[in-house]
Structure 1
Amino acid sequence: MADLFHKQAKDYAETRPTYPQEFFNFIVSKVPSSDLAWDVGTGSGQAVATLSAIYKNVVATDTSQKQLDYAPKFPNVRYVCTPAVISAAAIERDVAAPMTVDLVTVAQALHWFDLPNFYQHVKTVLKKPHGVIAAWCYTTPQVNDVVDSVFLPFYTDSRPYWDVARKLVDDKYRNVDFPFEPVDGEVDTGPFEFKTQRLMSLDDYFTYIRSWSAYGTAKDQGVDLLNEEVSQAFKQAWIGDGEEQKKLVVFPLHLRIGKLGN
């Protein structure tokens, strides 16, 4: 997974969405204590700023040092670059001791993981019986009817360059393996629906697309997904007959959240 985002780390850091406070409020309302959070697949730390304000300590891990180099720095956040496959001993040494983590978060990364191996580590490090895991993804951006009418066929054309794991995102994590029990007050583990949004210029929007793993894969195969024809179609949809303005871009969020069984 690290290789897919290594070349686009700067683009990823600059344009990937962060997450609203009400989203984190829902998650942390299900977690009784706030000593330690583990943000797995942190990338360039889109979730870290909020977690660091809530938890006494945060450990944030990723397999890409290049991405971690762009992550925000906080005194109570420890970043660790890990291999894709990590042993239980290495988890205890470099991440967290057994039964010490209040919350495990996975933002837009669960679909890349070796899930049986990962879940075994989660079940080891989470506090018992109240430790919680929250994993979420965001699906394709929504701007307005005109821009989205260009984006949707463009996204369809990009599908041959996505890893097969992307289908789990397109399915809003409905079909991802998630062997945990519903948190208190909920009847299932989701997905629960939220949204995040940010103001973006057309250049920002293009930079976001260039941060896709599919964009890098296509480029390595000699294909420019944002070729001149496509770029002009987006430009016409974005600007029309007026001047370019920043637009509010909405990213739907889909959250799976659960706790350990008794």
Structure 2
Amino acid sequence: MKDNFSGHAADYAKYRPEYPQELITYLVSLAPAHQLAWDCATGNGQVAGMLSAYFAEVVATDISEKQLQNAVQQPNITYKVEQAEQSSLADASVDLVVVAQAVHWFEFEKFYQQVKRVLRQEGVLALIGYGLIHINPAVDEVIQKLYGGILEGYWDPERRYIDEAYRTIPFPFQELDMPPFEIKYNWTLETLLGYLNTWSAVKHYERQQGQNPVQLIEQELREKWGQQKQQEVKFNIIARIGKV
């Protein structure tokens, strides 16, 4: 599993979008019981915090100690620095495994072996994430210029799984359908810029070119944004959900 986010963990916690409550409620409803949930690659603990309202215990793991230092704290959440492919959880102990915006970084076969080992009977695996941000055609065009133009060749190859909405990842589970969900916010332009600066390809570009690529489109983005203080932004939720 790759760690692309330790270097900007605080910004990641501040700017990354949160999943809608309706999605979490839906995933919880699929679990056979509410004793233990595993939030794998928890990052800043965002999903772990939401799950903690429903489960007696949440174990949240990540390979980034810096990310966990910025994580949501609840008495029933236990954070552990662990590889997704090497879980310390007991056999047949978990009701729900959630991986949010991270499974594309994993060694699929090794991770799935762990999932099959730790899930109890009828336990559920939910791989969730979100695609490219949408605001309006004019602003989206500038963001696409950054995403697919300036940053071409700077995205890790695994990013294509997000673009393909996780439909092309291996998924050796009995698949469950999920209704559509989306993330919606009203953001200022400054928040949008903060979010764009958390992209892993932006960091790769900075390291290789010595320049922040977001600055290359910032002026045009400001022009297309216009005079509005805030605008609605949307992310479509992508997901694969299944049982052993």
Q: Structure 2-normalised TM-score?
A: 0.94
Three-state SS of the structure 2 residue aligned to 1:42 is coil
Amino acid at match of 1:49: G
Letter in 2 for 1:225: P
Matching of residue 145 in structure 1 with residue 137 in structure 2: yes
Q: CA deviation at 1:120?
A: 0.4
Could you tell me which residue of structure 2 aligns to residue 226 of structure 1?
A: 214
CA contact (8 A) 1:40 1:105 kept: yes
* Pair 1:109 & 2:96 matched: no
Q: Residue 193 of structure 1 contacts residue 255 of structure 1 at CA under 8 Å; is this kept in 2?
A: no
Q: Distance in 1 between matches of 2:85 and 2:96?
A: 21
In the alignment, is residue 193 of structure 1 matched against residue 180 of structure 2? Answer: yes
- Assess if the C-alpha contact under 8 Å between 2:61 and 2:84 holds in 1: no
Residues in 2 aligned to 1:124 and 1:197: alpha-carbon distance in whole angstroms: 36
**Structure 1 residue 208 corresponds to structure 2 residue 201:** no
Aligned residue for 2:75?
75
Decide whether the 8 Å contact of 1:4 with 1:217 is kept in 2.
no
Unmatched runs of 5 consecutive residues or more in structure 2: none
1:48 to 1:126, Cα distance in 2 relative to 1, 3 A: same
Q: Which of 110, 113, 126 is the equivalent residue of 2:119?
A: 126
Q: Which residue of 1 aligns with 2:58?
A: 58
Supply the distance in 2 between the matched residues of 1:51 and 1:20 (Cα, whole angstroms). 12
1:200, distance to aligned residue in structure 2 (A): 1.7
RMSD over equivalenced CA pairs, Å: 1.5
Distance in 1, Cα, partners of 2:55 & 2:29:
13
Deviation (angstroms), 1:164: 0.2
Match for 1:234: what amino acid? Answer: L
Deviations 1:4-29 (A, max 9, x none): 11112111101111111211222122
Shift of 1:73: 0.2
Cα separation, 1, equivalents of 2:109 and 2:55: 27
Structure 1: distance between partners of 2:194 and 2:152? 18
C-alpha contact (below 8 Å) 1:17/1:46 kept by paired residues: no
- Aligned-partner Cα distance in 2 for 1:205–1:62: 26
Distance of aligned partners of 1:10 and 1:85 in 2 relative to their CA distance in 1, 3 Å threshold = same
Q: Partners in 1 of 2:6 and 2:124 — Cα distance?
A: 30
Q: CA deviation at 1:31?
A: 1.4
Partner residue of 2:230?
A: 246
Q: CA deviation at 1:246?
A: 2.0
Aligned-partner SS, 1:4: coil
Runs of 4 or more above 4 Å deviation: none
> Could you tell me the percent identity over the aligned residues?
39
Q: 2:173 aligns with which of 149, 174, 180?
A: 180
**Distance between the aligned counterparts of 1:78 and 1:2, measured in 2?**
22
Instruction: Identify the residue that residue 44 of structure 2 maps to in structure 1.
Output: 44
Give the 3 Å change call, closer, same or farther, for CA 2–164 of structure 1 in structure 2.
closer
Offset of 1:201 from its aligned partner? 1.4
